[in-house]
Structure 1
Amino acid sequence: MPITTQHGNALLYVTHDRVGASAVRSMGTADLRTGGVPVVLVPGLGAPGYLLRTLERCARSGPARLLDVPGYRDPAGPVCGETLGALADTVARWLADVPGGPVVLAGHSTGAQVALHAAARSPGRVRALVLMAPTFPPPLRRTGPLSVAAFRTAVQESPGVVPAVLPSYLAAGPRRLLTCARSAQADAPEAVLPHVTCPVTVLGAEDDALSPPGWVRHLADRAARGRAVVVRGAHAFPHRHPDVTAEVLNGARGTSF
């Protein structure tokens, strides 16, 4: 039986879906096959807690799930490795086995890169792709500039995001987090986007130095069917501004641009 939890005004379920030899833990609505196109969220650095507010808003309008990958806090243990490739493979397999039809696939931060690769591997399973604050622009693929950008962004963030991500970070440990971050740094999402055939929305924030507005617009231009949307906030804007974020995600359910 699923575990249920009341979050905001929506009843969210915690479910384990069988994907190959593993069971991927997710939070959201119980049934993904009724009520419209599902929204599926992929968190950055394996810390789903900060996306719960956005998930709850999406669940008010239709089926929605937040994938807990690689699953640092799952009592059953992580379901896959921390590298971008391992995470994208797991998400692609979940898309093939669980929803029963195309979804709006949305990832945030390094999770945006995971979602992008999963969409490229599973084109028939993704109706629309939303990349929220995708990392990393070429200058930030080196440690020094990345550290400066991380500091500039951190001073703009709401302190409330810390308790939302800290439990997952502690469960992961520095080695796993560093493995994930380094694999994302080595990635070039701008080279993958031209191969994605579905509509792509690249969603960024005004005060985000990790995924600045210029990078957001550049990625949207790289997509065959792309658009850029810039909202207020910093890197963790889905936590601080869940209503604005969910409005974009829910709008993507019927997107056709």
Structure 2
Amino acid sequence: MQVVINGQQVYAYTGGKALDCALPTVVFIHGAQNDHSVWGLQSRWFAHHGYGVLAVDLPGHGRSGGPALASVEEMADWLLALLDAAGVRRALLAGHSMGSLVALEASARAPGRVRGLAMLGTTYPMKVSDQLLATARDDEDAAIDMVNIWSHSSIAHKPSSPGPGFSVMGGARRLMQRMSAINPDALFYTDFAACNAYANGEAAARAVQCPAVFIFGAKDMMTPPRSTKTLTGAIAHGKVVTVDAGHSLMAEQPDAVLDALIAFAATLENEETTQ
């Protein structure tokens, strides 16, 4: 699905079915140097089981044009503009890593637009080391290698991958390299700098009133579960689900992530039915 926002063509994957705004909608927001494809299993399942789906490509990523946005706040405003352009009144927002901050900020800016909030591989503050920021700015290929090593647990490597000849880490690395080829204008640095500079996370979290779920990777070295107390404390009603994965949990444990999202979406339906 393509729409125009701020004069730029942007893309959102709808899971293999046309978006039907009469259905409950799930919006999937990817992390740094990624695109909608990281949500492949989850977006298709929801699209084929009674939901409308928008798996977005943020500006400057994947099939969306324009420069990458430099702050989480700008991305949140863009996301709300996308909902308007697509005709979506309210949605469940599911964000991974940088995308989780975008979902959080959007929920604070427009609480009436958000049915539920799912934050995967998240933490706040989402600080990026000076070394990694500098590498992302000066040597993006090296930064891609560094992040892929830190984002995947040992279970991602052969022979534990889902099928013969399949490399979770290799796929993630090639996706990030493709993002660099599409947008060579310091994309990784822009994304990392936005995460590093975001300062409204605790206030935004304390403002969350909608149902929420945190999905963490037990072996996550990028946003380790021990670093998440600020968010989980601020959103005390949020449920915590832990899966046996690193930071790239949708790739390492796609079924477990899907199961957690299905269960969360079901609770939203049940709560709204009983109100």
SS in structure 2 at match of 1:58: helix
Q: Specify the alignment match of 1:199 in structure 2.
A: 211
Q: Cα distance 1:57–1:166, how it changes in 2: closer, same or farther (>3 A)?
A: farther
Counting matched residue pairs gives: 240
What RMSD over aligned residues (CA atoms) do the two structures have, in Å? Answer: 2.8
Is the counterpart of residue 241 in structure 1 residue 228 in structure 2?
Answer: no
Is 1:227 aligned to residue 239 of structure 2?
Answer: yes
- 1:166 and 2:187 equivalent? no
- Higher strand proportion, which one? 1
The offset of 1:177, in angstroms, is 1.6
**Distance of aligned partners of 1:222 and 1:136 in 2 relative to their CA distance in 1, 3 Å threshold:** closer
Which runs of no fewer than 5 residues in structure 2 stay unpaired?
136-145, 157-167
User: For the residues of structure 1 that align with 2:33 and 2:92, how far apart are their CA atoms?
Assistant: 19
User: TM-score w.r.t. structure 1 length?
Assistant: 0.81
Code of the aligned partner of 1:229: V
Q: Distance in 1 between matches of 2:45 and 2:5?
A: 27
3-state SS, counterpart of residue 173 of structure 1: coil
TM-score, length basis structure 2: 0.76
Runs of 4+ in 1 over 4 A off after TM superposition: 135-138, 144-147
Q: Percent identity?
A: 23
Matched with 1:143 is: 130
Query: How big is the shift at 1:237?
Result: 1.0
For residues 1-257 of structure 1, the aligned pairs below 5 Å read 15-28=1-14, 29-34=17-22, 36-48=23-35, 49-61=37-49, 62-74=51-63, 77-78=65-66, 81-135=69-123, 137=125, 140-144=127-131, 150=147, 151-154=149-152, 156=154, 157=156, 158-159=168-169, 160-173=171-184, 175-188=186-199, 189-223=201-235, 225-256=237-268
How far 1:128 moved relative to its partner? 0.1
Distance 2:230 2:8 in 1: 37
| CA distance in 1 between partners of 2:4 and 2:20 (Å) | 15
- 1:196-226 deviation digits (Å, cap 9, x = unpaired): 2211211110111111122345422211531
Whether the 8 Å contact between 2:31 and 2:97 is mirrored in structure 1 is: yes
Contact 1:54 1:239 in 2 (8 A): no
Q: Aligned equivalents of 2:255 and 2:20: distance in 1?
A: 21
Measured in 2, the distance between the counterparts of 1:66 and 1:16 equals 12
